[in-house]
Amino acid sequence: MLNTALFAVSCLTLLERSQVSAAVTVYNSDSTATAAYDATQVTGLPNFDNTVLTPPTPPSPAVTQIAWSVPSTEDGLTSQGYELGVKQRGNFLGFSVELSVADQITGHSVGKNPVNLKVPFLNYLANIRNRAGMGPLVRVGGNSQEASTLYTDGFAGNAIIQKVKVDGCLQTVTPTINYSPDIFYMMSNISSTVDAHWFFGLSFNQSAVETMSTNVPLVAQTAQQMLGYHLLGLQLSNEPDLYTDHNKRAAGWTVDNFTTEYAEVRTEILNDATLENKQFLIGPSVCCDKVGFELDDVFATGWLDQEKDNLAYVAVQHYPEDNCGVNGNYLNAQDIYSEWLNHTSATNLTVPYFNGTRAAIAAGKEMIMFETNTASCGGFAGLSDSFAASLWMADYALQMAYRNFTAALIHVGGQSVFYNPFTPPPSNMTDTWKWTTGSIYYSTLAVAETLGPSNNSQVVDLSPQNDNIYAPMYAIYENGAPVRLALFNYVSDSSGASDYTATISLGGADLPSGNISVRYMRAPSVAEKYNITWANQTMGAAYTSDGRLYREQETVSIQCDTTAKTCSIPVYAPSMALVFLTTGAMQEAVSSEQATATFATTYVNVGSATVDPAALSTGNGQMGSSATGATSEGSAQTSGTAGILAVPSIMAVLLVASTTFALRAFN
Ligand SMILES: *[C@@H]1O[C@H](CO)[C@@H](O)[C@H](O)[C@H]1NC(C)=O
Ligand SMILES: *[C@@H]1O[C@H](CO)[C@@H](O)[C@H](O)[C@H]1NC(C)=O
Ligand SMILES: *[C@@H]1O[C@H](CO)[C@@H](O)[C@H](O)[C@H]1NC(C)=O
Ligand SMILES: *[C@@H]1O[C@H](CO)[C@@H](O)[C@H](O)[C@H]1NC(C)=O
Ligand SMILES: *[C@@H]1O[C@H](CO)[C@@H](O)[C@H](O)[C@H]1NC(C)=O
Ligand SMILES: *[C@@H]1O[C@H](CO)[C@@H](O)[C@H](O)[C@H]1NC(C)=O
Ligand SMILES: *[C@@H]1O[C@H](CO)[C@@H](O)[C@H](O)[C@H]1NC(C)=O
Ligand SMILES: *[C@@H]1O[C@H](CO)[C@@H](O)[C@H](O)[C@H]1NC(C)=O
Ligand SMILES: *[C@@H]1O[C@H](CO)[C@@H](O)[C@H](O)[C@H]1NC(C)=O
Ligand SMILES: *[C@@H]1O[C@H](CO)[C@@H](O)[C@H](O)[C@H]1NC(C)=O
Ligand SMILES: *[C@@H]1O[C@H](CO)[C@@H](O)[C@H](O)[C@H]1NC(C)=O
Ligand SMILES: *[C@@H]1O[C@H](CO)[C@@H](O)[C@H](O)[C@H]1NC(C)=O
């Protein structure tokens, strides 16, 4: 959804390369240009914006009591007209990292082969792994995957990514991105430490594949060989409904042309690549409610039947609003703030996919929301980076889980967007405690704990019981019985007057014996950016995060009324409350030790860090004792450790060109 991509690049770091024609300028991100840390420069960046919006006025009179009847069996649920969604994994909510900034977020090469991973990024992923019982989902791709090419010999200076721009330095263009095989080594190294599962984006262009001017078959083969089972699929076509608008295809290129071209590219890949897994593609990834080019329209061409033997997943992408300023018309975030502050958004956003999701499931495919966030083209200052986004994303994710999506990926852009779940520091700042955790990151923790590590949780939205758009409620069932509840209070009122008490009953059935437990996602206001807690733990203000949670984990214990067979749960305005109904659900939840079992950042340098071998083995030790147990840390440790140890003397060249490259709004 890129209408106004602004690729502002300093011309300091130009490097001509023989692989590209003379008219093309290449910017390598392994620039040795230095930029001193300058706080004034930093405050100017959108990602560190100080805009604070005014929360909507609390509804009057305030609702202070809400009763919920949660059927104790699936039959009870069905008899009330509710149905459970499909079975979910705890890593439902993952990340979509724009290819063009992957080296800034995930890590980059140092020297010929070893890869320098960003420890904070590993921590952000480990937090999810510890809660979901399996590694997080990460997609590398986006608009910048189109026309990208794998350079098998790599690049000068061992850069992972190379940005190519055809115009003069200060033009507004979408760069072409090329990458070296090291990007897959890096992903593989990340998987060995935090069990990350990957999606990678292929360039989609039939004539380029046929004329061999891109090497997509080789990319598919290389990615599979290097990532093995940690590669979940390769996306082919990213927002094709916008191709003609973005001049990526000629006017008149329709959904039928799409389906024809898809088959041609897929055939070329199968002919030219040796693939271990032939159910490897992901599409169609339409995004934007284009009349005649929606998911149902793509399916109506026969695309799903045509492709299903080679599909891994079906995907769509969608943002509820945009900050693209089409024709200069920018929305005012304050005016639209309430769109993210009630349950209507979550329910409404899933409706267009009901038919397609049923068709995908009938074809044996899972449905993924491949890229989303609060708003495209960078999101909105004060909105995308506020606690409103945390509540909205958690609500929307659980709604998608209820409506049979099985994953959703939060988009991560460059320095100049408002919506990032995490952002590295903007210059060669001297230690790793300088990342910024975005409000939306907290949703990933809340959702991972809500769905839990069983791979067996099913979600139902019970909100229609009360029909209060500010107080939705989901129940999570396992093996036909309710185990957890997620209750929201979208009202922002620090006076306490809009807090409500949720009175829970199991439809007359006995409550589980003993107390029930509650964890909260909280902030003093929906407009809050940094004082956000999950179970009392936080990642702090801008430039203060190493990706770990700090403070003591809090699990509130609440005594239920065994005579009345009800439990009363306070739900603060604003907050999300996660209620563990059973001792079993509490036992499988992340413990306080596991909650922070991440990587110590003892060796630090230039806004990134190598993994200290001691820290790594400690980390693995903690992980070994965690609920996850599923990863092969023992076997991976040796090679993983060797692979990610960077040579300190090489660290001096690790100045990522993040101050030189200001990437604006790849979605
Ligand atoms: C960061 O940049 C400044 C200014 O160029 C330089 O003096 C300093 O050594 C750099 N810091 C590191 C850790 O490389
Ligand atoms: C880590 O990456 C290096 C290349 O940079 C590779 O040689 C090594 O096999 C990788 N290790 C693992 C465990 O993925
Ligand atoms: C597709 O590939 C052809 C052949 O390399 C090229 O001429 C054309 O510009 C490409 N189209 C897009 C939209 O990248
Ligand atoms: C779309 O497909 C039709 C039928 O094959 C073809 O005639 C037409 O040229 C295609 N349009 C574009 C823009 O590729
Ligand atoms: C609730 O959210 C919807 C959809 O985002 C929005 O259109 C509506 O204005 C909101 N309602 C209120 C009362 O704020
Ligand atoms: C709900 O979605 C439909 C389109 O799917 C849209 O027309 C309608 O305005 C939306 N309603 C709200 C309240 O946002
Ligand atoms: C889903 O399919 C039904 C029946 O074919 C149709 O009436 C409805 O409009 C479709 N819904 C969407 C959102 O396309
Ligand atoms: C989701 O899947 C369940 C179980 O198969 C089914 O009962 C339900 O109707 C589906 N929901 C939607 C929105 O398709
Ligand atoms: C959940 O699924 C993942 C991936 O398939 C697997 O590694 C893990 O062991 C499963 N967890 C449980 C509790 O079955
Ligand atoms: C942070 O938020 C909590 C409520 O979530 C509040 O009690 C506390 O006073 C706030 N701290 C600061 C420094 O604003
Ligand atoms: C929250 O964490 C702080 C800092 O670790 C601790 O002092 C406090 O007791 C914790 N609150 C609760 C209710 O556990
Ligand atoms: C049960 O909850 C009450 C408060 O609601 C608390 O006083 C009591 O200590 C809790 N009991 C246990 C075993 O956690």
Name the least confident of 240-254, 293-307, 648-662: 648-662
Q: Which of 20, 143, 206, 213 to mutate to test the pocket of ligand 3 (most atoms within 8 A of CB)?
A: 213
User: What value does the mean pLDDT of the chain take?
Assistant: 81
Place 165 in a pLDDT band, splitting at 50, 70 and 90: low
Determine the Cα–Cα distance for residues 502 and 207; give it in Å rounded to an integer.
59
Domain end (from 564, 595, 626): 595
**431 pLDDT higher than 80:** no
**607 pLDDT higher than 80:** no
Residue 186 CA: nearest ligand 2 atom is 2
Place of tokens 């999570």: 476
The stretch 167-182 carries a mean pLDDT of 65
Residue 244 CA: nearest ligand 4 atom is 13
Would you say the CB of residue 253 lies under 6 angstroms from ligand 4?
A: yes
The stretch 437-456 carries a mean pLDDT of 97
Residues 6+ apart with CB under 8 A from 284: 237, 240, 258, 262, 295, 298, 303, 314, 315, 316
Tokens of residue 70, six digits: 């949660």
Place 328 in a pLDDT band, splitting at 50, 70 and 90: confident
Which residue, by CA, sits nearest to atom 5 of ligand 5? 339
Place 521 in a pLDDT band, splitting at 50, 70 and 90: very high
Smallest CA-to-CA distance from 68 within 448, 588, 460 is with 460
Would you say the CB of residue 536 lies under 6 angstroms from ligand 11?
A: yes
Distance from the alpha carbon of residue 246 to the mean position of ligand 7, in angstroms:
29
The stretch 499-516 carries a mean pLDDT of 90
Would you say the CB of residue 85 lies under 6 angstroms from ligand 8?
A: yes
Distance from the alpha carbon of residue 296 to the mean position of ligand 7, in angstroms:
8
**439 pLDDT higher than 90:** yes
Would you say the CB of residue 531 lies under 6 angstroms from ligand 10?
A: yes
- Point out which residues pair with 116 in neighbouring strands: 108
Determine the Cα–Cα distance for residues 363 and 643; give it in Å rounded to an integer.
40
Q: How far is CA 495 from the centre of its chain?
A: 33
Would you say the CB of residue 555 lies under 6 angstroms from ligand 11?
A: no
The H or E element that residue 446 is part of is: helix 441-451
Q: Which of 489, 521, 531, 544 to mutate to test the pocket of ligand 10 (most atoms within 8 A of CB)?
A: 531
Would you say the CB of residue 54 lies under 6 angstroms from ligand 1?
A: no
Would you say the CB of residue 352 lies under 6 angstroms from ligand 7?
A: yes
**27 pLDDT higher than 60:** no
Which residue, by CA, sits nearest to atom 10 of ligand 9? 455
Would you say the CB of residue 90 lies under 6 angstroms from ligand 9?
A: no
Identify whether 628 is part of a domain. Answer: no
Would you say the CB of residue 56 lies under 6 angstroms from ligand 6?
A: no
CATH number at residue 552: 2.60.40.1180
Would you say the CB of residue 401 lies under 6 angstroms from ligand 10?
A: no
Tokens of residue 246, six digits: 């973005």
HSE toward the beta carbon, residue 638, CA cutoff 13 A: 2
* Ligand nearest the Cα atom of residue 549: 11
Q: Which of 89, 191, 366, 479 to mutate to test the pocket of ligand 9 (most atoms within 8 A of CB)?
A: 89
Domain that holds residue 204: 93-442
Distance from the alpha carbon of residue 492 to the mean position of ligand 12, in angstroms:
28
Considering the domain architecture, whether residues 77 and 130 belong to the same structural domain is answered as no
The stretch 511-536 carries a mean pLDDT of 94
Considering the domain architecture, whether residues 432 and 537 belong to the same structural domain is answered as no
**172 pLDDT higher than 50:** no
Place 356 in a pLDDT band, splitting at 50, 70 and 90: very high
Identify whether 567 is part of a domain. Answer: yes
Q: How far is CA 299 from the centre of its chain?
A: 26
Distance from the alpha carbon of residue 556 to the mean position of ligand 12, in angstroms:
9
Identify whether 296 is part of a domain. Answer: yes
**136 pLDDT higher than 90:** yes
Domain end (from 391, 408, 442): 442
**350 pLDDT higher than 80:** yes
The H or E element that residue 255 is part of is: helix 255-272
Distance from the alpha carbon of residue 628 to the mean position of ligand 4, in angstroms:
51
Determine the Cα–Cα distance for residues 52 and 422; give it in Å rounded to an integer.
19
pLDDT tens digit sequence for 300-322: 999 999 999 999 999 999 999 99
Smallest CA-to-CA distance from 352 within 313, 406, 298, 392 is with 298
The stretch 187-213 carries a mean pLDDT of 93
Residue 352 CA: nearest ligand 7 atom is 13
Would you say the CB of residue 522 lies under 6 angstroms from ligand 10?
A: yes
**534 pLDDT higher than 80:** yes
Would you say the CB of residue 550 lies under 6 angstroms from ligand 11?
A: no
**258 pLDDT higher than 90:** yes
H runs (alpha helix) in 195-315: 206-210, 216-227, 255-272, 295-300, 303-307
Considering 63-67, 182-186, 374-378, the range whose residues carry the highest mean pLDDT is 63-67
The stretch 205-228 carries a mean pLDDT of 95
Distance from the alpha carbon of residue 524 to the mean position of ligand 11, in angstroms:
16
- Point out which residues pair with 315 in neighbouring strands: 284, 368
* Ligand nearest the Cα atom of residue 149: 3
Report the domain count for the chain: 2
Identify whether 656 is part of a domain. Answer: no
Considering the domain architecture, whether residues 506 and 363 belong to the same structural domain is answered as no
Place 237 in a pLDDT band, splitting at 50, 70 and 90: very high
Would you say the CB of residue 357 lies under 6 angstroms from ligand 8?
A: yes
Would you say the CB of residue 87 lies under 6 angstroms from ligand 8?
A: no
Considering the domain architecture, whether residues 217 and 167 belong to the same structural domain is answered as yes
The H or E element that residue 102 is part of is: helix 102-105
**12 pLDDT higher than 90:** no
Would you say the CB of residue 54 lies under 6 angstroms from ligand 6?
A: no
HSE toward the beta carbon, residue 628, CA cutoff 13 A: 32
Would you say the CB of residue 372 lies under 6 angstroms from ligand 9?
A: no
Would you say the CB of residue 523 lies under 6 angstroms from ligand 10?
A: yes
Tell me which of 193 and 483 has the higher pLDDT.
483
Cis peptide before 181 (omega within 30 of 0): no
What predicted TM-score, i.e. pTM, was given to this entire model?
0.86
Tell me which of 612 and 470 has the higher pLDDT.
470
For residues 444 and 90, the answer to whether their CB atoms sit within 8 Å is no
pLDDT of residue 430: 41
Q: Write the DSSP string, 631-645.
A: S-HHHHHHHHHHHHP
Considering the domain architecture, whether residues 78 and 107 belong to the same structural domain is answered as no
Distance from the alpha carbon of residue 184 to the mean position of ligand 2, in angstroms:
9
Q: Which of 290, 316, 342, 348 to mutate to test the pocket of ligand 6 (most atoms within 8 A of CB)?
A: 348
pLDDT tens digit sequence for 281-294: 999 999 999 999 99
Place 427 in a pLDDT band, splitting at 50, 70 and 90: low
Identify whether 404 is part of a domain. Answer: yes
pLDDT of residue 108: 62
Which residue, by CA, sits nearest to atom 14 of ligand 12? 557
Determine the Cα–Cα distance for residues 565 and 658; give it in Å rounded to an integer.
57
Considering the domain architecture, whether residues 209 and 336 belong to the same structural domain is answered as yes
Which residue, by CA, sits nearest to atom 13 of ligand 12? 515
CATH number at residue 131: 3.20.20.80
Considering the domain architecture, whether residues 484 and 359 belong to the same structural domain is answered as no
Q: How far is CA 416 from the centre of its chain?
A: 17
**600 pLDDT higher than 60:** no
Domain end (from 560, 595, 630): 595
Burial of 253-269, coded b for 16+ CB within 10 Å and e otherwise, reads eebebbbebbeebbebb
Identify whether 618 is part of a domain. Answer: no
Considering the domain architecture, whether residues 74 and 111 belong to the same structural domain is answered as no
In terms of residues, how long is the chain? 667
Which residue, by CA, sits nearest to atom 4 of ligand 4? 257
**643 pLDDT higher than 80:** no
Name the least confident of 229-233, 295-299, 531-535, 604-608: 604-608
The stretch 136-158 carries a mean pLDDT of 90
pLDDT of residue 397: 99
Considering the domain architecture, whether residues 498 and 396 belong to the same structural domain is answered as no
Distance from the alpha carbon of residue 190 to the mean position of ligand 2, in angstroms:
9
Determine the Cα–Cα distance for residues 105 and 160; give it in Å rounded to an integer.
12
pLDDT of residue 158: 76
Name the least confident of 185-194, 226-235, 419-428, 496-505: 419-428
Considering the domain architecture, whether residues 466 and 425 belong to the same structural domain is answered as no
Distance from the alpha carbon of residue 375 to the mean position of ligand 5, in angstroms:
15
Cα angle 518-519-524, degrees, rounded to a multiple of 5: 125
Q: Which of 611, 639, 645, 650 to mutate to test the pocket of ligand 2 (most atoms within 8 A of CB)?
A: 639
* Ligand nearest the Cα atom of residue 526: 10
Smallest CA-to-CA distance from 13 within 33, 38, 41 is with 33
**648 pLDDT higher than 70:** no
**569 pLDDT higher than 70:** yes
Name the least confident of 345-359, 426-440, 497-511: 426-440
Determine the Cα–Cα distance for residues 145 and 100; give it in Å rounded to an integer.
8
The stretch 324-336 carries a mean pLDDT of 91
Name the least confident of 244-253, 359-368, 413-422: 413-422
**2 pLDDT higher than 60:** no
Considering the domain architecture, whether residues 131 and 160 belong to the same structural domain is answered as yes
pLDDT of residue 361: 98
Identify whether 43 is part of a domain. Answer: no
Which residues form the pocket of ligand 3, taking CB atoms under 6 Å from any ligand atom?
Answer: 147, 205, 207-208, 211, 213, 248
**405 pLDDT higher than 90:** yes
Burial class (CB in 10 A: 0-12, 13-18, 19+), 36: exposed
Considering the domain architecture, whether residues 259 and 373 belong to the same structural domain is answered as yes
Identify whether 450 is part of a domain. Answer: no
